[in-house]
Chain A
Amino acid sequence: AQSVTQPDIHITVSEGASLELRCNYSYGATPYLFWYVQSPGQGLQLLLKYFSGDTLVQGIKGFEAEFKRSQSSFNLRKPSVHWSDAAEYFCAVGGAGGTSYGKLTFGQGTILTVHP
């Protein structure tokens, strides 16, 4: 069964500091990996996704993530955090079609607080 672990429930950074949110996954085949962001009381917005190819993927709002197969990780990074980045971030893993078509498994989320 696939699973996702986000080890950090809550992270606090200062505005302008760098950010790394951790994500570890378990999946028996080639994974599709996603990062979503959620503002309070809102739906989820896709930040970036990895399917294949270059293991460093760029997303919206200046975020990037690196797929490391050997570590089963897909960590999200941003070089300089803005106050508007404060939100909850979810990592998700999906399958490569077939009966698992479209099904994603989400991590428990990491809440990001940004101090001025």
Chain B
Amino acid sequence: DGGITQSPKYLFRKEGQNVTLSCEQNLNHDAMYWYRQDPGQGLRLIYYSQIVNDFQKGDIAEGYSVSREKKESFPLTVTSAQKNPTAFYLCASTVRGEQETQYFGPGTRLLVL
């Protein structure tokens, strides 16, 4: 089955720790995105990548980092500089030519211990 997978489903971070959220897609999509979701705030764009080895900051990139070494993978690292990391993180992807229709993974909930 084609789709987007995110792992883990739940992730716990200790103070001062970096954690990495995985996002993989087998849809052969060109672009991938990371969003953060907080109650009542909709989805806010963290980073996006339109092509391998290139990525752009979104609206709330501070305290996060990404890489795009393979077309199918776009991991997100939440660094210790992100002081309020507790949120639901969603990964999405799209293919050029489909008018920006984004398809979403199931999400990862990050909690701070």
* B99, A103: Cβ atoms closer than 8 Å: no
The B85-113 residues at the A interface (CB cut-off 8 A) are 88, 90, 92, 94, 96, 99-107, 109
- Give chain A's interface secondary structure class: loop
* B50, A101: Cβ atoms closer than 8 Å: yes
Q: Which residue of A is nearest B91, CB measured?
A: A43
Within 8 Å CB of A34, what residues of B? 101-102
Give the A interface residue count (CB, 8 A): 24
Give the B interface residue count (CB, 8 A): 27
Q: Which residue of B is nearest A51, CB measured?
A: B99
Q: Knowing A44-B104, A102-B94 touch, does A108 contact B99 (C-beta < 8 A)?
A: no
- The answer to the question of B16 belonging to the interface, with a C-beta cut-off of 8 Å to chain A, is no
Q: With the chains together, A101 CA to B31 CA distance in Å?
A: 9
Q: With the chains together, A104 CA to B103 CA distance in Å?
A: 12
Within the complex, the shortest CB–CB distance from B2 to chain A, in Å, comes to 15
- Give chain B's interface secondary structure class: strand
Q: With the chains together, A9 CA to B41 CA distance in Å?
A: 10
Q: How many residue pairs bridge A and B at CB < 8 Å?
A: 61
* A102, B100: Cβ atoms closer than 8 Å: yes
Contact of A43 among B33, B90, B99 (CB under 8 A): B90
Within the complex, the shortest CB–CB distance from A55 to chain B, in Å, comes to 16
Within 8 Å CB of B40, what residues of A? 9, 108-109
* B104, A106: Cβ atoms closer than 8 Å: no
Q: Knowing A90-B42, A101-B31, A106-B42 touch, does A43 contact B105 (C-beta < 8 A)?
A: yes
- The answer to the question of A63 belonging to the interface, with a C-beta cut-off of 8 Å to chain B, is no
Q: Knowing A43-B90, A44-B90 touch, does A104 contact B102 (C-beta < 8 A)?
A: yes
- A interface with B by C-beta (< 8 Å): 9, 32, 34, 36, 41-46, 49, 51, 90, 94-96, 101-104, 106-109
